[in-house]
Amino acid sequence: MNLLERELHYPLGDTLPPSGKTLEVAPGIRWIRMALPFALDHVNLWLLRDTIGGVEGWTVVDCCIAHDDSRAQWEEIFSTGLDGLPVLRVVVTHMHPDHIGLADWICKRWNAPLWISATDFYVAHVLSSQGDSLAGGDDAADFFAAHGLSDPKVLESIRRRSDYYSELVPSVPRRFVRLLDGDSIDIGGQAWRCIGGYGHAPEHIALYCASSNILLGGDMMLPRISTNVSVHAGEPEADPLKLFLKSIERFDELPSDALGLPAHGKPFTGIHQRVRQLQDHHRDRLAELLEACMLRPHTAAEGMPILFKRQLDVHQTTFAMGETIAHLHLLWFSGQLQRQLGTDGVYRFGRFPDRAAPSA
C-alpha cells in the first residue's frame, strides 16, 4: 500500500469477491469483480436490490467488456447470485468498453432497459457501428503524429486498431432511458442522485444515495489510480482536464464518511481526501510540464515521459498521449503556455514571440 492509500480507509480490507460470485458490501448492494485483459486488470460491477412495477429483482450497474470470460462469469452470477430474481434495469455510468460492453447482451437477455446519459449513449453507438477514432484508426494515428508521436511501428499499430471499440462493444441497445445530472432515481425504495462528471467520458454519471451514504463513483472517483483524462482526435481542441478537476470538486459536497464504491480498486472511505490527492497529483504534473516547456518547447510525445516514467505498450501509449495533450491544453488555454504548429506539421507548446493564448 502506498502512502496516499494509507490516507484512505478500506472497510473490507483485502477481501474481494471470488470470480463469478458476489459479495455484499451494504444491505441490498452486491459487489462483482471481473477480470480485464489489460494492464488495468479488473472492473467492479454492482447489483442493487430493486422493485419496479411491483416486480422484485436487481438493477445492474455497469457490465464489463464483451468477452467470453465475462459472459461466463455473468452466467454463473445469473444462476447463483440473484436469489432467483430477474435483472430489471441496467445502469451504465459511461460509454467506455469495460462499462458498456455487455450492456446489450444483458438487456436483451432480461428484457431490461438501459439507463445512461444521452451523450454517452450516442457516442457508444457511433464508435460501435462506425469505427473507433478514440484509441485507434487513421484519425487517432494522424492526431498523435501531429503531437509528435513518430515511431512508425507504434503509429501503424494504432492505425490497425480501428475496430478496437467494436470488438469490446459489438452492439449497443437501440433504446435507452436518459440519465441527467441532478436526476433522482428510485432503486429499491431509496433515492439515488445522479452526479454528472466530465473530462474522463463525455457525460459520466455517478450515483449517490443519501440515506445509505454510498457513492457509486464509476471512474470519476477511484481510490488508487488517477482517472485517465484525454484529448481525442474527434475533439482535438478540447480542455478535458479543466472539466475533470471542476467535476471532482462536487464530491466535496458529500459527507466526509461516505462509502465510495469505485469502478476499479476496493470500497473506501475518505472521498474528500481523495479529491485533494487528485488535485495535488495533477497540479504537480502540470508544474513539471510547465517547467520543461518554459526551458524549450515540447511536443506531447516529448512531454509524455515527464508524466509517464514507465515503459508503455501501444494500448497504454494511446492513453498516455491523450492525457499528456490534456495537460498541455490546460496550460495552453489558461495562457501559461502557447502552442505553435511547426513547418513539420507538429504542435509544440512553449513560449513563442507574439503568440496569444486561445480564447476560452
Mean residue pLDDT across the chain? 95
Residue 356 lies in a domain: no
Question: Looking at the structure, do residues 125 and 215 belong to the same domain, yes or no?
Answer: yes
Distance CA 87, CA 50 (A): 9
Q: For 119-135, how does the pLDDT look when each residue is reduced to its tens digit (9 = 90+)?
A: 999 999 999 998 766 77
Cell of 69: 470470460
**pLDDT for 358:** 63
103 neighbors 114 (Cβ within 8 angstroms): yes
- Closest to 102 in 3D by CA, of 200, 203, 173, 46: 173
For residue 356, pLDDT beyond 60: no
Residue 355 lies in a domain: no
Q: Look at the alpha carbons of 200, 98, 102, 143 in this order and tell me if their dihedral is positive or negative.
A: positive
Question: Looking at the structure, do residues 301 and 274 belong to the same domain, yes or no?
Answer: no
**pLDDT for 154:** 96
pLDDT confidence bin for 162, thresholds 50/70/90: confident
Question: Looking at the structure, do residues 104 and 246 belong to the same domain, yes or no?
Answer: yes
Question: Looking at the structure, do residues 252 and 303 belong to the same domain, yes or no?
Answer: no
The CA radius of gyration of the chain, in Å to the nearest whole number, is 21
Residue 163 lies in a domain: yes
pLDDT confidence bin for 136, thresholds 50/70/90: confident
Residue 157 lies in a domain: yes
Domain limits at 305?
A: 292-350
The CA distances from residue 115 to 14, 106, 184, 318, in Å, are 31, 13, 13, 29
Question: Looking at the structure, do residues 39 and 89 belong to the same domain, yes or no?
Answer: yes
Distance CA 277, CA 295 (A): 28
pLDDT confidence bin for 4, thresholds 50/70/90: confident
What are the DSSP calls for 272-325, one per residue? HHHHHHHHHHHHHHHHHHHHHHHHS-B-HHHHHHHH--S---HHHHHHHHHHHH
Question: Looking at the structure, do residues 90 and 220 belong to the same domain, yes or no?
Answer: yes
For residue 359, pLDDT beyond 70: no
Q: What would the mean pLDDT of 178-187 be, rounded to a whole number?
A: 98
More confident residue, 285 or 7: 285
Question: Looking at the structure, do residues 298 and 155 belong to the same domain, yes or no?
Answer: no
* Final residue of a structural domain among 228, 255, 279: 279
Q: For 245-294, how does the pLDDT look when each residue is reduced to its tens digit (9 = 90+)?
A: 999 999 999 999 999 999 999 999 999 999 999 999 999 999 999 999 99
- What is the domain count for the chain? 2
Question: Looking at the structure, do residues 336 and 234 belong to the same domain, yes or no?
Answer: no
Q: For 333-353, how does the pLDDT look when each residue is reduced to its tens digit (9 = 90+)?
A: 999 999 999 999 999 999 997
Question: Looking at the structure, do residues 222 and 345 belong to the same domain, yes or no?
Answer: no
Residue 83 lies in a domain: yes
- Closest to 133 in 3D by CA, of 122, 143, 145: 143
Question: Looking at the structure, do residues 21 and 167 belong to the same domain, yes or no?
Answer: yes
Residue 357 lies in a domain: no
Distance CA 266, CA 205 (A): 19
193 neighbors 207 (Cβ within 8 angstroms): yes
Q: Look at the alpha carbons of 98, 104, 107, 110 in this order and tell me if their dihedral is positive or negative.
A: negative
Residue 359 lies in a domain: no
For residue 357, pLDDT beyond 60: no
191 neighbors 184 (Cβ within 8 angstroms): yes
Question: Looking at the structure, do residues 212 and 270 belong to the same domain, yes or no?
Answer: yes
For residue 355, pLDDT beyond 60: no
342: domain CATH number is 1.10.10
For residue 215, pLDDT beyond 90: yes
Neighbours of 11 (CB within 10 A): 12
**pLDDT for 243:** 98
pLDDT confidence bin for 54, thresholds 50/70/90: very high
Question: Looking at the structure, do residues 272 and 326 belong to the same domain, yes or no?
Answer: no
226: domain CATH number is 3.60.15.10
**pLDDT for 6:** 81
Residue 286 lies in a domain: no
The model carries a pTM of 0.95
**pLDDT for 297:** 98
